[in-house]
Amino acid sequence: MKNARLMTAALAAALVLSAAPSALATSTGAVSAGAKPKGPKHFDLSNKDNSTSISVHKGDEITVRLAGEQKDTSTWAWSEPTAADGAVLQRSGAGTSPNGDSTAVFHARADGTTTLDSQLRCVSRKSGQTCSHVVVPWQATVKVKERKRR
């Protein structure tokens, strides 16, 4: 009975965390209509951006912040986000927190398409407590292209 409840809770968490992805990532480098973009832009990705695709330019920065979940007996923790192709997106910093959160910063360095990936896993917080073996993937596709010059 206890294992069935744990599995049900794990599956519910997986469904919540992989629910409908947002259409676009947030960009803090917005420019007004007709204005030339100046300098690199910054993009923020989070749990809700699972399965999304974004286009960025060389020099832009992407920060991935994934929120874990801490409970009395376990923590649902994210692994440090990685780029499948480090030549396209270079990771300049990453870390995890005891509460299950994970953060990484990437810089667009070369033209191409790659993915950013992380996995959510249950980590037992108390001796003798069992944890679900469910692994929830998170992934975003990033296309990097050269900024057009006018």
pLDDT per residue as tens digits for the range 83-118? 999 999 999 999 999 999 999 999 999 999 999 999
Residues of the chain with confidence (pLDDT) below 70: 1-38, 150
Query: Which residues on adjacent β-strands are paired with residue 53?
Result: 141
Res 93: pLDDT:
95
Q: Which domains does the chain have, with CATH numbers?
A: 2-21+45-145 (2.60.40.2020)
Mean pLDDT, the chain, whole residue set: 82
Res 26: pLDDT:
46
Q: Would you say the C-alpha torsion 90, 93, 99, 101 has a positive or negative sign?
A: negative
User: Is the whole-model pTM more than 0.85?
Assistant: no
Res 25: pLDDT:
44
Res 2: pLDDT:
45
Res 138: pLDDT:
98
Res 148: pLDDT:
77
Res 39: pLDDT:
78
Whether 64 contacts 45, CB under 8 Å: yes
Res 36: pLDDT:
58
